[in-house]
Homo-oligomer: A and B are copies of this chain.
Amino acid sequence: MKTRVGILGYGNLGRGIECSLKQNDDMELVAVFTRRNPDTVKILTEGVKVYHVDDAPKMKDDIDVMILCGGSATDLPEQTKEYAKYFTVVDSFDTHAKIPEHFENVDKAATENGNVAVISAGWDPGMFSINRLYGNAILPQGKDYTFWGKGVSQGHSDAIRRVEGVANGKQYTVPIDAALEAVRSGANPELTTREKHLRECYVVAEEGADLAKIEAEIKNMPNYFADYDTTVTFITEEELQRDHAGIPHGGFVIRSGKTGWNGENTHIIEYSLKLDSNPEFTASVIVACARAAVRMKKEGMKGCKTIFDIPPAYLSAVDGAELRKALL
């Protein structure tokens, strides 16, 4: 029998989950839940219904795992602990500083109701976190480096669009090659914010806007751009749609460490992602975690879990003996 999956929230991430489920024969989408009027939400999968989110709890026996696709700022802090009362759930909560608090809240709800809740699934937090953990565990005498990009930062793109005179815009975070090479050399450099990443802005100005003023305002914006070398390129809306429509992302996690009786040998562990679609890749990680969550629940576990707690084999649809034969 297939694992029955619900999706709560149908934006880019929800659609990514839907696409990922199509690739996984052991799982099937059984319902999508939305806060909008369900009649206005068209999904890709034939024969699957869209419900209002208020109907979700009634369907708790029809769904093995509910994937929560809301945002981390305001949706997930409320939703995950709420739906963990009824379902095995997975979310992609990505506000790093608030993970401990979110974990506690969700753990309480999931434990009290005998459910498993996997939080912060995706790639950072997620696969990048796992690689930081493996790197630290294997090479305790070492240093971590995480670089992001080249990719679109939603928060920085939003910040650009709030500048007066800006009609539209997109921001790419770009890791700086010289910094990456210094890390890969094993030199364990101390890198400033400016040395690690630069920020490329593509901006569509409103007609008659003062371009020099826009550029200065962006480059000097505190928190977002002031600490970085930032480029501002003005383009037309047409060019923006043609050349910058995608949502690529990626990055690098590098652990540089020493071994030997006197630390005489250097080792570099590097994990990198190059993603055409940030939400679709995030969704693919979440779906694998959903499989694991269902298995953990079946084994009698309960409470909040993260990808740190999931035996890698649980993410796969393939059984242990076959995994050992084919992949070990």
A residues with CB within 8 A of B: 16, 18-20, 22-24, 44, 96, 99-100, 103, 120, 125, 127, 129-134, 136-141, 184, 259-261, 265-277, 280-281, 283-285, 288, 291, 306-313, 315-318, 320-321, 323-325, 327-328
With A96-B328, A267-B277 already in contact, 15 other A-B pairs whose C-beta atoms are closer than 8 Å: A23-B141, A133-B312, A137-B291, A184-B274, A259-B277, A259-B284, A265-B276, A267-B274, A268-B275, A269-B272, A270-B272, A307-B328, A308-B320, A309-B313, A310-B311
A sample of 24 inter-chain contacts (CB < 8 A) reads: A19-B261, A23-B140, A23-B141, A96-B328, A99-B328, A100-B324, A103-B324, A129-B327, A130-B312, A133-B312, A133-B313, A137-B316, A138-B285, A138-B315, A184-B274, A259-B276, A259-B284, A260-B277, A265-B280, A267-B274, A308-B311, A308-B323, A309-B312, A309-B320
Q: Is the CB of B271 within 8 A of A266?
A: no
Q: Is the CB of B274 within 8 A of A259?
A: no
Q: Is the CB of A270 within 8 A of B267?
A: no
Which of B132, B265, B277, B316 is A277 in contact with, Cβ under 8 Å? B265
> Closest residue of chain B to A144, judged by CB?
B327
In the complex, what residues of B have CB within 8 A of residue A44's CB? 261
Q: Is the CB of B274 within 8 A of A268?
A: yes
Q: Is the CB of A259 within 8 A of B103?
A: no
Return A308 CB to nearest CB of chain B, in Å: 4
> Closest residue of chain B to A246, judged by CB?
B265
Return A210 CB to nearest CB of chain B, in Å: 38
Q: Is the CB of A20 within 8 A of B127?
A: no
In the complex, what residues of B have CB within 8 A of residue A275's CB? 265, 267-268
In the complex, what residues of B have CB within 8 A of residue A291's CB? 137
Q: Is the CB of B268 within 8 A of A273?
A: yes
Q: Is the CB of A288 within 8 A of B137?
A: yes
A20 to B20, CA, bound (A): 41
Return A262 CB to nearest CB of chain B, in Å: 9
Q: Which are the 9 A-B pairs with shortest beta-carbon distances? A: A265-B276, A137-B315, A259-B280, A308-B313, A265-B277, A268-B274, A137-B316, A137-B288, A132-B327
Which of B127, B267, B307 is A276 in contact with, Cβ under 8 Å? B267
Q: Is the CB of B312 within 8 A of A99?
A: no
Q: Is the CB of A276 within 8 A of B269?
A: no
Which of B137, B285, B321 is A100 in contact with, Cβ under 8 Å? B321
Q: Is the CB of B120 within 8 A of A127?
A: no
In the complex, what residues of B have CB within 8 A of residue A306's CB? 324, 328
Q: Is the CB of A327 within 8 A of B133?
A: yes
Which of B120, B267, B288, B307 is A281 in contact with, Cβ under 8 Å? B267
